[in-house]
Structure 1
Amino acid sequence: MVVHDNRKEQIITKALELFSERGYYKTTNEMVAKEVRVTQPFVYHFFKSKEEMFIAVLDKAFQRLLAAFSSVEVPAHLIVDKMGLAFNDILNNNRKEILMVM
């Protein structure tokens, strides 16, 4: 099962790159499969449609944002600054993901 989970993550990662570079309409499941070096039916094993794959990409990015903001624990008067730093950190390390959410 770990192998399948890893392959699914690889598909999501490559889909993220393609969606962020080409956009939703110019990215195909076939392109994603080629980038991951799997067959197109293998991609459909995890995602029934391009829309479902796109939602998985957005969900991954959203979960990263949620985790970063949820982990901020400071007094109320520092919350805005600390959350801003958390957002900048995410933007610097996962730019494509965050831009997809935005």
Structure 2
Amino acid sequence: MELVMERKYQRKVHQQGNSLSVGIPSQVAERLKLKKGETLEVEFNEETQELLYRKVKAVELPKGFDIEFLEVLNGVLEDYDEALINLKDR
């Protein structure tokens, strides 16, 4: 059985342009092997008022795959997520 260690940190919220930002403790960045420019996924739980950050794994796309198509498709799925779920449940 693997022992999971959980550490808590307190960080200040800073203004960065029109956004707010929170620094990642260096110990956490090292453990995650985070590098400047990498992408993190942010999940917000309205019920618990908690944010959860996950490192996004880099995916190598097949040769000839159009990244713009994937971005447009992702936008459509986000925009029509509820409608698509309702159609599936009919």
Same fold, judged at TM 0.5 (above):
no
Give the TM-score, by structure 1 length.
0.25
Higher share in helix: 1
Greater relative contact order (Cα 8 A, min sep 6): structure 1 or 2?
Answer: 1
**Which is greater in Rg?**
2
Higher share in strand: 2
